[in-house]
Structure 1
Amino acid sequence: MPKVVIDSKTFHYAAGVPQGNCNHAIIFVHGAGGNHKHWAYQTTELGQKFLTIAVDLPGHGISEGEPCREIKDYSSFLYDFTERTLGTGFILAGHSMGGAIAMDFALRFPNKLSGLILIGTGARLRVAPAILETFKAGQLFPEFINFAYSDTTNPELLRQAELEMENTAPSIYYSDFLACDSFNYIEQIKNIMTPTLVIGADADRLTPPKYSQYLADNIPNSQLQIISQAGHMMMLEKPHQINTSIEKFATDLVSVISG
């Protein structure tokens, strides 16, 4: 995997590089306790047309460093990461906690972005106290998988999700969910001026469609897409529908930018 060194620590990412000319890039940011593998279908399929980069946040996947407990700290890391890998003029896509990071980034560094994609996220991301307490105690919360996927999810995908949770330290989830629990941008999102695509799923139990609708209603220059028969992990459950929406948004955006 490609890597970049920031402050003497090594951070890894997956990349999809198209054949021939590439006229735009998309950065993908995973959610709480996740890693670059959550974007496997995007970096491969969309990577045929766009430069795609899925980062392992600090302390996640095979990246060094410690997980953050505030969204703004992840956003600051992302700024350093993108400065070393891309610079400016990219589309930023975030899922769940990654969407919160993307919103904070868009508010703090709007000149770096040409587009914003918010997937399965919300302007406020409260976490149930029982979940926080479980991870704080150093225990996993396997029932969380049932909330993250729809009832029609492929059993093999669920098995992979369970294995991934077993191999992720509870402390990582605890830090991430603390960051989510304190995230409240109900008022700030109206100041996001970056062209935005909001994607939700009709069977998402963690960030229901009303969360996506609120984002679309309050972020200027935004559009909404609801994926049917999918849960919170929609980019893994329904990758083709997600990729189709992202490709159209990115293609239209590039056309406008190029005049």
Structure 2
Amino acid sequence: MLLVNGYTLDMPFIKLGNQDLFFAQHIPRNAKQVLILVHGAGGSHLDWPAEVRRLPETAVFALDLPGHGRSSKPGRTSVSGYAQIVHEFIETLYLENVVVAGHSMGGAIAQTIGLRQLPQVAGLILVGTGARLRVTDAILGSILRDFDAAVQTITQLAWAPDAPPELVAKGKEMLAHNDPNVLFGDYNACNQFDVMNQLGKINVPVLVISGTADQLTPMKYGRYLADNIPHAQLVTIDGGGHMMALEQPQAVAQAITKFLNTLKTSKH
């Protein structure tokens, strides 16, 4: 049993302030790196497929952000507020050599962590995200007014046209379980996020993963990140929608594994 700062890592919850934060973990005995997985707006740790949550030689922590999944409420109303939770998670568990991977809003959170230049953070992985995340009024304006319509709109935009229908249906069901106020807070946080002019301050290696069929954060978002972050590389998932990690788990896991392997041998 691994004990870190008074927490046994077979316990799925950690208390951060007054918040009970749920996390799923996979800690191989030969783990050489730490990977923290941060989901997007209205998501949970299950937005990351098992292929990513159980990487070899990597201690993986997949979080449920406040107000999401099995974590307690309230949610946060800003990307920086969520980033502070991830920061506290890293510090509370005394984690080192950490790579923070974020999807969509989680990618904004990861960028915010990168801009803090924490000594514990060795790299970032940005999946289906951007340096600025403007949200259409068809989503933002309808979440509190007509939640079912908002869920339908988000679902239509989140998946590639050829995504398996059962996967899309499950995703829609999970999205509909959100508290409308938490979902609105998430999308409003995204709408206010803009670090386009700050990317040069991110001083760790970064992997950007973009899907060619992503309608919510199009390929041009990923290209901008890769072009403006000093130590960034771009991997394209052909045919991948916004939920590319669930649509093409092997391809995303392979890209992440390759990046983590480069971090073991490179130093910036």
Q: What TM-score results when the alignment is normalised by the length of structure 1?
A: 0.94
Could you list the per-position Cα deviations for residues 73-113 of structure 1 after superposition, in whole angstroms to 9, with x for gaps in the alignment? 11111111111234332001000000000001111143221
1:243 aligns with 2:238: no
Aligned to 2:140, the other structure's residue is in SS state: helix
1:73-222 equivalences under 5 Å are 73-137=81-145, 139-140=147-148, 141=150, 142-222=152-232
Moved more, 149-158 or 102-111: 102-111
Letter in 1 for 2:41: A
The alpha-carbon distance between structure 1 residues 117 and 44, as it changes in their structure 2 partners (threshold 3 A), is closer
Aligned to 2:16: 6
Q: Provide the C-alpha distance between the structure 2 equivalents of 1:207 and 1:158, rounded to a whole number of angstroms.
A: 18
CA contact (8 A) 1:16 1:53 kept: yes
Question: Any stretches of 5+ residues in structure 2 without a counterpart?
Answer: 1-10
CA contact (8 A) 1:41 1:235 kept: no
Letter in 2 for 1:143: T
Aligned to 1:25, the other structure's residue is in SS state: strand
Q: Provide the C-alpha distance between the structure 1 equivalents of 2:183 and 2:139, rounded to a whole number of angstroms.
A: 9
The alpha-carbon distance between structure 1 residues 24 and 167, as it changes in their structure 2 partners (threshold 3 A), is same
Aligned to 1:224: 234
How far has the Cα of 1:9 moved from its partner?
A: 2.4
CA contact (8 A) 2:47 2:245 kept: yes
Q: Provide the C-alpha distance between the structure 2 equivalents of 1:42 and 1:4, rounded to a whole number of angstroms.
A: 24
Q: Provide the C-alpha distance between the structure 2 equivalents of 1:145 and 1:229, rounded to a whole number of angstroms.
A: 17
CA contact (8 A) 2:66 2:73 kept: yes
CA contact (8 A) 1:16 1:44 kept: yes
Q: Percent identity?
A: 38
Root-mean-square deviation (CA, aligned residues, Å) is 1.5
Moved more, 182-191 or 163-172: 163-172
1:32-43 equivalences under 5 Å are 32-43=41-52
1:24 pairs with one of 19, 33, 37: 33
Aligned to 2:58: 50
Aligned to 2:194, the other structure's residue is in SS state: coil
Question: Any stretches of 5+ residues in structure 1 without a counterpart?
Answer: none
1:59 aligns with 2:88: no
Could you list the per-position Cα deviations for residues 170-223 of structure 1 after superposition, in whole angstroms to 9, with x for gaps in the alignment? 212100000000001110112111100000000000101110000000000110
Equivalenced residue count is 256
Structure with more helix by fraction: 1
How far has the Cα of 1:10 moved from its partner?
A: 1.1
Q: Provide the C-alpha distance between the structure 1 equivalents of 2:22 and 2:266, rounded to a whole number of angstroms.
A: 32
Q: Provide the C-alpha distance between the structure 2 equivalents of 1:183 and 1:125, rounded to a whole number of angstroms.
A: 6
Q: What TM-score results when the alignment is normalised by the length of structure 2?
A: 0.91
Q: Provide the C-alpha distance between the structure 2 equivalents of 1:35 and 1:121, rounded to a whole number of angstroms.
A: 16
Letter in 1 for 2:256: I
Q: Provide the C-alpha distance between the structure 2 equivalents of 1:118 and 1:110, rounded to a whole number of angstroms.
A: 17
CA contact (8 A) 2:34 2:96 kept: no
Letter in 2 for 1:80: E
The alpha-carbon distance between structure 1 residues 86 and 227, as it changes in their structure 2 partners (threshold 3 A), is farther
Aligned to 1:126, the other structure's residue is in SS state: coil
CA contact (8 A) 1:110 1:194 kept: no
Q: Provide the C-alpha distance between the structure 2 equivalents of 1:207 and 1:8, rounded to a whole number of angstroms.
A: 33
Could you list the per-position Cα deviations for residues 26-80 of structure 1 after superposition, in whole angstroms to 9, with x for gaps in the alignment? 000000000001113244441x321111100011101013111111111111111
